[in-house]
Structure 1
Amino acid sequence: MIKKAFIFCSILWAANFMVSGQTATVKPLTIGEIRTFKSKTLNEDRTLNIYLPQGYDKTKAYPVIYLLDGSMNEDFIHVTGLVQFFNQMYSMPETIVVGIANIDRKRDFTFHTDLKDLQKDYPTTGHSDKFIGFLEKELKPYIESQYKTTDKYLFGQSLGGLLATEILLKKPEMFNNYFIISPSLWWDDQSLLKKAPEMLSKSGDHKKFVYVSVGKDEHPVMVKDAGDLYDVLKKAGKKNWTVEYKMMETDNHATILHRSLYEGLVKLFPYKEPQ
């Protein structure tokens, strides 16, 4: 018994010696850049998490995805992983992702409301006009001064989807492609949705891709409003707009984003067999 214990201890000591004798080189894993951007419009510093494709070449032009809710602990990491996967396996070109980190999304993503219950529940609300101005007049020009760019995408879910819808209806020229996931169109008694037909009648008809999605297991109002938005967009008769809609059969408000973005990107960039 003592002999067996001695042999076991000898083996354990030898294993520990081998491990301690090994050396490893450690360096940071870098997938892009973190920039702090001073906004005069918002009067605050904003953090930008920027994904750059592997082998990024500053002499080349790239599409850019502007990701709302783009903090490191929100949607930045899993969305950039999805983009990298589509670069590798589908026909999507290499793309830059600009994740806009949040400070107060309820303030930035909602427009003014006179409804007292919403004012009470969302005391900082109602400043999407400033945030849209920040995107249009500061952030986009800044990104385009730092990188060569082509098509512009906007990804937004929930209140971010409400903001993306507001931009699409009021300033559709800001982006070429809109991914509107589970938009909170219930805001302000659905006033944005009610005004949508009039707004669309005044907007241009430049080439655009619009993808609307909602989870079947979300609140019935969310499901109905997303379907109504799709209907309004289709009835607008924009010949150069491609409008897609996807009901995610197994998703709720918490689970929908990643899978829904996958389904939307497939519509733009179908799988191609390797040549």
Structure 2
Amino acid sequence: MTNDDVLRQSDADGVRTLILNRPNAYNSLTVELKERLLAALRDAGDNPDVKAIVLTGAGKAFCAGQDLKEHVGLLQAGDEAPLRTVAEHYNPIVLAIAELPKPVIAAVNGPAAGAGAALAYASDLRIAATSANFLMAFANVGLGPDTGASWTLQRLIGYGRAAELMLLARPVEAEEALRIGLVGEVVADEDLAGRAQAVAAKLAAGPTVAYAKIKSTLRAAAEGTLAEALAVEDEAQGALGATADHAEAVEAFVAKRKPRFTGS
């Protein structure tokens, strides 16, 4: 891929890095970029050589959300495509991230707003640069949340804080995001890419089948009752107990050495 692509990707150590690449527009989401991102996530999920995914932005922003210039231009031209973008693009993208049997790390390298912030919320881990900030500004344009933010944000920081950030459209800087649990780590801007790659590479070398089950059990627990969560855990443990990775972990424990996982 070239630097002109709206979405760039690279592979190293089992990690696929997806870079939103519209830096002059703060990586805002056009139809082309949304379609490319959805296809790239699905491809990463299907590729056995990809064990973990890093999502980040080019330039000084992570993602400013919907490209409003394209949105307004299409509406003024009588094209109703923008009215279908939640169902056709944002919902499938969030489900693709949630249902990927591999961990997704959002490396938030700058401002993340609207749907862009929601992409970070939907990810499994969030590492922020000191220059990062998060903004839920849907109310400022007379809209409600999308891209799963109504579901993900309150599960990260609680209903009260989520309501405050959405109703008041109040930005959250990196250090506050860390304090309230919106991100797991804050690092210097120049260290973000390396830190995200290091975490992703560690995950890629781990028991990736177990990671897939961890994601699915967490999602089931968030959606269901305690009894339902217990049943899902039981099924997952039964399946994972028969994996080569679990057998290797047991052998490594007995031998007092580090396990060598193969993702099987």
Instruction: Tell me the TM-score normalised to structure 1 length.
Output: 0.30
Larger radius of gyration: 1
